[in-house]
Amino acid sequence: MNAYIFPGQGAQFVGMGLDLYEKYPRAQELFESANEILGFTITDIMFEGTPEALKETKVTQPAIFLHSVISSMVMDNDFRPDMVAGHSLGEFSALVANGTLNFEDGLNLVSKRALAMQKACELQPSTMAAVLGLEDSVVERICEETEGIVVAANYNCPGQLVISGEVKAIETACEKLKEAGARRALVLPVGGAFHSPLMEPAREELATAIENTVFNDPKCPIYQNVTTTAVNNSDEVKKNLMAQLTAPVKWTQSVQNMVKDGAILFTEVGPGSVLQGLVRKIEPNVKTTGAILT
């Protein structure tokens, strides 16, 4: 069975999508439509902007979504997923790819998500940190014992977990994690504490937008970040998507469940190859590849 996986924030690069725009008339139409929907020319920033401009959350998230979704749309008959999953933002790309959301609604939700997260980031100084070389249970315990808000946010693969929370709490936790034997505990250059309780204002704002959007039943199961198991029902998809911003991204567990349910090939659709690397660390015996566009 073929699992299609979609990357999240961090996979962006200047020039992303230009090859699609130049090669496929359908891609050109979709990119031009995106410029109208967003109210600014995102293609200029994606194709020839500066890395700094592309790093702005309001740009990054729609840019990655567009690259992923348009790639899946121009694959035509080659795009035949048995199951899908996306890492954080990538979950929205996955939901368009499996027919749960249409292109326009997906892009609108991603844009609203990015702006809501940006606002939440500005309310309180917060950040994230990557922790390498410790058992998840040790990281979770140290987060619980640290004063202030700090939680496990991204279960990326065994031995690689990202924590999220208030700046001071993150710094304290990093020191404790190093003392506990972490190979690295490195504060990341991000503007906020994604997938933590500090995203609650953004969660509320996005939940309203999700509630007012039409969701279809998926054409194939999606393994969502919050539950990690196959979801085939549109109401359940909505509920999980509403919870996603303040809940951890359980990527390790999602991939394990996909393999348990028969996935033997993981195809990453979108910029970069980060997810392929994570999948190989989680399940070394499966095959991974990037989307092949003909």
Q: Which residues contact 36 (CB under 8 A, 6 or more apart)?
A: none
Active site (catalytic) residues: 88, 195
Q: SS3 letters for the chain?
A: CEEEEECCCCCCCCCCCHHHHHHCHHHHHHHHHHHHHHCCCHHHHHHHCCHHHHHCHHHHHHHHHHHHHHHHHHCHHHCCCCEEEECCCHHHHHHHHCCCCCHHHHHHHHHHHHHHHHHHHHHCCEEEEEEECCCHHHHHHHHHHCCCCEEEEEEEECCEEEEEEEHHHHHHHHHHHHHCCCCEEEECCCCCCCCCHHHHHHHHHHHHHHHCCCCCCCCCCEECCCCCCEECCHHHHHHHHHHHHHCCECHHHHHHHHHHCCCCEEEECCCCCHHHHHHHHHCCCCEEEECCCC
Token couple for 3: 């699992």
Rounded to 5 degrees, φ, ψ at 293 are -100, 125
In the chain the domains, ranked by start, together with CATH numbers, are: 2-122+197-290 (3.40.366.10), 124-187 (3.30.70.250)
| CB distance 73 to 292 below 8 Å | no
Which value, to the nearest 10 degrees, does the dihedral of the CA atoms of residues 248, 249, 253, 257 take? Answer: 130
Single-letter amino acid, residue 269: V
The rounded distance, in Å, linking the Cα atoms of 210 and 37 is 17
pLDDT of residue 75: 82
Per-position pLDDT tens, the chain of length 294: 999 999 998 888 999 999 999 999 999 999 999 999 999 999 999 999 999 999 888 899 999 999 999 999 998 667 889 999 999 999 999 999 999 999 999 999 999 999 999 999 899 889 999 999 999 999 999 999 999 999 999 999 999 999 999 999 999 999 999 999 999 999 987 778 999 999 999 999 999 999 999 999 999 999 999 999 999 999 999 999 999 999 999 999 999 999 999 999 999 999 989 999 999 999 999 999 998 775
Instruction: State residue 294's pLDDT score.
Output: 59
> Tell me, what's the pLDDT at 191?
77
Put simply, whether the predicted model's pTM sits higher than 0.85 gets the answer yes
